[in-house]
Amino acid sequence: MTDFVARLHAIVGDKGLITDDQGKHPFLTDWRENYLGTALAIVRPATTEEVAAVVKLCAAEKVAIVPQGGNTGMSGGGTPHEEGREIVLSLTRMNRILEIDKVGYTMTVEAGVVLKTIQEAAADADRLFPLSLGAEGSCTIGGNLSTNAGGVQVLHYGNARNLVLGLEVVLPDGEIWNGLRALKKDNTGYDLRDLYLGAEGTLGIITKAILKLWPKPKDHATSWSAVPSPQAAVELLSSAYAASEDNVTSCELMGRQGIDLVLQHIAGTSDPLADKHDWYVLMEWSSARPASVGDNAAGLRDKMEAYLGEAMEKGLVLDAVIAQTEAQSKALWALRENHTEASKKEGPSIKHDISVAVSKIPPFVPEGLAAMTKALPGCRPLVFGHVGDGNLHFNCQAPAGWSKPQFMQHGDAISGAIYDLVTAYGGSISAEHGIGRIKVHELEHYRTKIELDVMRSLKRALDPQNLMNPGKVIQIQ
Ligand code: FAD
Ligand code: MLT
Ligand code: ZN
């Protein structure tokens, strides 16, 4: 054991340190298996004070730190580099829910709590924590806040940034900033909290958070509609806001290619409609008002049925089903949530987590599809995502049977074509997955000099030794 590792051990003990190759491996590679790094050790502190002591030691020894939560990130931000002096600092032992304030609608948690655990604790208290995404069974709230995660309910509740009131952060010099304030209003100077949200571990380590809660929905309606085009999807959503009395909580678009992959690779899934169609919309309406109360006796399901009937008459919907039970609703959601898993099982793919204004989705989609297939004839576009936020996963699946190295030779041409188009539409090259390691060069290319200069100034000021997740998000020369 080196002297440095021995000093880490003195802080976190046996339970908090992994140094053998087999034990380290899962922390050194990302979910997509794009990277495989090395680390002096995997350090798993149990308290904020232990995190602070580890960070102080690393600052003194000039060892870089890669914070990690559930390691489900899509951009390689939580994976160490192939060479260099780094530790992975995993927050997963800091997994306690500290307080639920039912009256104030808040929950205080440690950074390593798994998102699903938070959702369940909120539901048990008759409240809702609305962040919801496919990786919710393993991603952590610290990772969610550090990536400013999105997911499937952003159009109603906002992304992770909108779901938090206060933070506790260990700064790059090991000092602890206690910003755990449950305040809805606080205009006392620059907003430090917002700096750390979406910073992907490059400015400090989030150790605790005060989250916002909402009333638990008591009435739900889930529909699966075949639509003729993305244009129809956007129009369907546009009029659903009023028809649902502002209760649209999810609106997801999927192309047929993705459904075919899910049906092929994910056991227990089935096509809800008799015929195949090019595009589908999964819509969820939910409300805290129970269906049986007063003049609301009809409930959201009846309202949705009437609404979809009218949409069919207008030609916006070709065929549709509405879930009659929770199990049916879950089965529809499984078709959507398993896209990422099914794509991984199918083989290599390139992800483009893009956003444009919702009203620009209809022209963007056919232009984007044409650009992708021009860049690599024979590639398989896999388009799905959060159309209600203007955020599509405009992904590209390799031609059947291609190896990853063979496919990746075309990566720059494919991604360049999509990102140039997104930029021409005034959109974003990273809507919800962050920059991490995978888009560092794209950020340099697509953001203006002034934006990059401000980002670099912030990074240099807050992390002068460049030890906090270096090489991620923004390069410091
Ligand atoms: P990690 O992967 O461990 O880390 C992500 C980044 O945050 C890294 O840069 C890391 O250094 C940093 N970090 C982690 N914890 C901390 C901390 N406590 N303090 C400071 N920095 C920290 N994302 C979406 O936005 N929307 C989706 O719909 C979505 N769907 C997904 C579906 C699947 C099947 C999968 C596998 C992933 C999906 N993701 C989605 C991506 C991923 O789940 C999110 O980015 C999630 O927020 C990452 O959380 P994590 O705990 O796994 O973070
Ligand atoms: C999702 O929404 O399922 C993920 O963010 C998408 C992806 O894997 O590209
Ligand atoms: Zn997504």
Q: How many CA atoms lie within 13 A of 473 on its CB side?
A: 23
Q: Which atom of ligand 1 is nearest to the CA of 159?
A: 25
Residues above pLDDT 90, as percent of the chain: 97
Taking only the tens place, the pLDDT of each residue in 328-351 is 999 999 999 999 999 999 999 999
Average pLDDT, the chain: 97
Mention every residue, 6+ apart, whose C-beta is less than 8 A from residue 4. 40, 57, 61, 63
**Cα separation of 243 and 375, whole Å?**
41
Instruction: Work out the number of other CB atoms within 10 angstroms of the CB of residue 406.
Output: 12
Closest of 112, 68, 110, 60 to residue 89, by C-alpha: 68
Q: Residue 206: exposed, middle, or buried by beta-carbon count in 10 A (0-12, 13-18, 19+)?
A: buried
Cα angle 477, 195, 130; round to 5: 130
**Phi and psi, residue 424, nearest 5°:** -60, -30
pTM, two decimals, is 0.97
Number of alpha helices (DSSP H) and beta strands (DSSP E) in the chain: 17, 19
Q: Which residue has the tokens 């809507």?
A: 431
Query: What is the Å distance from ligand 1's center to 71 Cα?
Result: 6
How confident is the model at residue 258, as a pLDDT? 98
Map tokens 């047929």 to a residue. Answer: 256
If you take atom 4 of ligand 2, which residue's CA is the nearest one? 340
Q: How much is the pLDDT for 84?
A: 84
Distance in Å, CA 383 to ligand 2 centroid: 10
Which class in CATH covers the domain with range 220-325?
alpha beta
User: Do 434 and 443 contact (CB within 8 A), yes or no?
Assistant: no
Protein residue with least CA distance to atom 15, ligand 1: 143
CA-closest residue to ligand 2 atom 8: 340
DSSP code string of 33-76: ---B---S-EE--SSHHHHHHHHHHHHHHT-EEEEESSS--SSS
Nearest ligand to the CA atom of 55: 1
CATH 3.30.465.10 occupies which residues in the chain?
97-215
Give the Å distance between the CA of 88 and the centre of ligand 1.
15
Nearest atom in ligand 1 to 141's CA: 51
Question: pLDDT band at residue 313, thresholds of 50, 70 and 90?
Answer: very high
- Residue 434 CA: nearest ligand 1 atom is 45
Q: How far is CA 380 from the centre of its chain?
A: 23
Strands (E), 113-218: 127-128, 164-170, 176-179, 205-212, 214-215
In angstroms, the CA 191 to CA 144 distance is: 19
- CATH 3.30.43.10 residue ranges for the chain: 3-90
Q: What pLDDT is recorded for position 242?
A: 97
Question: What CATH architecture is 347-435?
Answer: 2-Layer Sandwich (3.30)
The residues that bridge with 211 in the sheet, in sequence order, are 107, 164
Instruction: Name the 3-class secondary structure at 453.
Output: helix
Span(s) in the chain for CATH 3.30.70.2740:
347-435
d(CA 68, CA 65): 9
Question: Tell me: domain 3-90, CATH 3.40.50.261, correct?
Answer: no
Please, which residues have CB within 8 angstroms of residue 66's CB and are 6 or more apart in sequence?
A: 37, 39, 78, 79, 80, 86, 87, 88, 89, 201, 469
- In which band, very low, low, confident or very high, does the pLDDT at 295 lie, cut at 50, 70 and 90? low
What is the Cα–Cα distance from 340 to 393, expressed in whole angstroms?
10
Angle (CA) 365-366-372 rounded to 5° is 90
Say whether pLDDT at 61 is over 70. Answer: yes
Query: Tell me, which fold does domain 97-215 have in CATH?
Result: 3.30.465
Q: Quote the Cα angle for 470-475-477, to 5°.
A: 105
Q: What is the pLDDT of residues 407-430, one digit of tens each?
A: 999 999 999 999 999 999 999 999
Residue 408 C-alpha from the chain's centroid: 24
Residue span(s) of the chain under CATH 3.30.70.2190 come to: 220-325
